[in-house]
Homo-oligomer: A and B are copies of this chain.
Amino acid sequence: MAKQQQGPQEKSQDAGKETITPRAKDYAQWYLDVVKQAELAEHSGVRGCMVIRPHGYAIWERMQRELDDRFKATGHVNAYFPLFIPLSYLAKEEQHAAGFAKECAVVTHHRLKTIDGVVQVDPESKLEEPLIVRPTSETVIWAQYKNWIQSYRDLPILINQWANVCRWEMRTRLFLRTTEFLWQEGHTAHATEAEAIEETHRMLGVYADFAENVMAVPVVQGAKSPGERFPGALESLCIEAMMQDGKALQAGTSHYLGQNFAKSSDVKFLNKDGKLEFPYATSWGVSTRLIGALIMTHSDDAGLVLPPKLAPIQIAIVPIYKSDDEKAKVLQEAEAVFNELKGQGLSVKLDAREGMHPGAKYFEWEMKGVPVRIEIGPKDIEKGSLCLVRRYVAEQEGESEQDLRKRKKAFVPRGEALSGMKALLDEMQRQLYERAKAARVRRTRTIDQLADFERFFKDEGGGFAWVHWAGSAEDEDAMAKKYETSVRCIPLASQIPEAARGEGKCIYTGKPSTQRVVMAKSY
């Protein structure tokens, strides 16, 4: 514990001493080890709240930039709404209030006072109406939309907010489940149902594109079953990713809210026919949970693995020298390489820290998931080559760990190494996606018999089971008790693989079913 909290220089001294629990030994501990040792986040002294450390936050910033660009390209603008939601606002939409009631941080007073030498809450500062720290912002935003919407000409409203939210949690897990987390929440208002439903699907598509092409995480797009819907939504769409342990992780949601929030906030507009109507709403969000998904999709027993598009540092340059004479030459070359790569718009770090063994630097950058390391020593300069070490290569079947390590390292003529760097990073990005997709294929089954289902989840490690389903919420609960599985999503038609198409009979009830769903254990 104490070791992991040391600064980078300090830690270097212990390089190699501290290892990550292998996935095969204890997957949950492996995840926590990666989060800690890659210095992504840690628990704070504040119950259920995490601290996102600089390396973790830098990944979030990259995610934000990529997502924000996509939101703006689809016509959305950002705004900011209050952190606090009056209790009466939350209570307006019944289902919504019920859904969040058990996880609300409530502000009841607005002053402290020193009484008998002790700083405490001033009982005289009690608020007339308690304020809820937003768990989500539908009610407070629609209260404002009431002022902005009178006519169909005011629609659509396409607004997104980047914010912190709070859902009181008893059992927390860094990035995956914490009392406070960071997210974005889109809240749109439309003149017609068709337009709102189209928006719900458009934003699901944006999330899927981001997950697959930026995070290199393949996802299944689908709808939640009724029991799993967002409180107050008519339909909740989601993207589901498979983690390395075969469990599903919900990586983003896009909700069609119908007229529920317009009605509870009494927002009406004059439509083209001159009639008063309630507008149609959507909301959609992704959170810092995505960092958890990123870690559990790509990382390995040596630490974090980052797709180049999200790596805060894409290339780390480590100079190697013994004498002062060598040092001068090597640093000059290292700086030249640094400048050339930076000039290409790549994110490069020249690690010229003194008094630290190169091996300790390798260890640190591997742990932190930097895609490419360049080692530069006197011999490389002589030969006119650069030593490139990739953080990962596509595995080959039956390969020994030593062979794999060899293939990660290559001595490349200097010019070629520099001019080919972007292509190399693109290739690594693609390989990560392919690797994650292959892993998902290996753990995906089309299953028709409950006995096969049981074997898959109890003996074969589980994964995504494409099964016919026509059960009730109670049936789903019964399945959950037996197998710890649930309906992760009812996939969109475009998402269903050839082998899983068509009608059939519910795996649990035997009732007729029109399409298969994805069942899995989940985070």
Contacts and interface: CB of A to CB of B under 8 A. Distances in A.
B7 A148 contact: yes
A83 B45 contact: no
B82 A180 contact: yes
A7 B101 CA distance: 34
B101 A114 contact: yes
Contacts of A164: 83, 163-164
Interface stretch (A53-61, A327-335, A358-366, A505-513): A53-61
A272 interface: no
A500 interface: no
Contact of A54 (B78, B89, B91): B78
Interface string A128-149: 0011110000001001100111
Interface stretch (A150-158, A239-247, A394-402): A150-158
Contacts of A85: 46
Copies of the chain in the assembly:
2
A144 B51 contact: yes
Interface stretch (A23-31, A103-111, A230-238, A372-380): A103-111
Interface string A466-489: 000000000000000000000000
A53 B78 contact: no
B140 A44 contact: yes
B6 A159 contact: no
A42 interface: yes
A514 to B, nearest CB: 37
Name which of A57, A91, A114 has the most chain B CB atoms within 10 A of its CB: A57
A121 B168 CA distance: 14
A340 interface: no
B108 A79 contact: no
Contacts of A159: 54
A84 interface: yes
Interface residues of A, number: 77
A87 B125 CA distance: 16
B9 A86 contact: no
Contact of A133 (B133, B148, B182): B133
A79 B107 contact: no
A119 interface: yes
Given A104-B112, A106-B110, A121-B106, A80 B133 contact: no
Given A101-B111, A112-B101, A143-B45, A10 B150 contact: yes
Contact of A111 (B77, B104, B119): B104
By CB atoms of chain B within 10 A, which of A5, A84, A87, A163 has the most?
A: A84
B102 A111 contact: yes
A214 B149 CA distance: 35
Contacts of A149: 7
Contacts of A130: 109, 120-121
B105 A80 contact: no
B103 A111 contact: yes
A166 interface: yes
A52 interface: yes
Contacts of A140: 44-46
B112 A87 contact: yes
A342 interface: no
A49 interface: yes
B81 A51 contact: yes
Contacts of A153: 7, 9-10
19 contacts: A5-B147, A6-B150, A6-B151, A7-B148, A10-B151, A45-B89, A51-B82, A54-B79, A58-B77, A83-B166, A83-B180, A84-B180, A87-B119, A97-B119, A105-B131, A106-B108, A107-B107, A120-B130, A163-B164
A166 B109 CA distance: 13
A357 interface: no
A517 to B, nearest CB: 33
Contacts of A5: 147-148, 150
Contacts of A101: 111-114, 119
Given A97-B112, A143-B45, A107 B84 contact: no
A203 interface: no
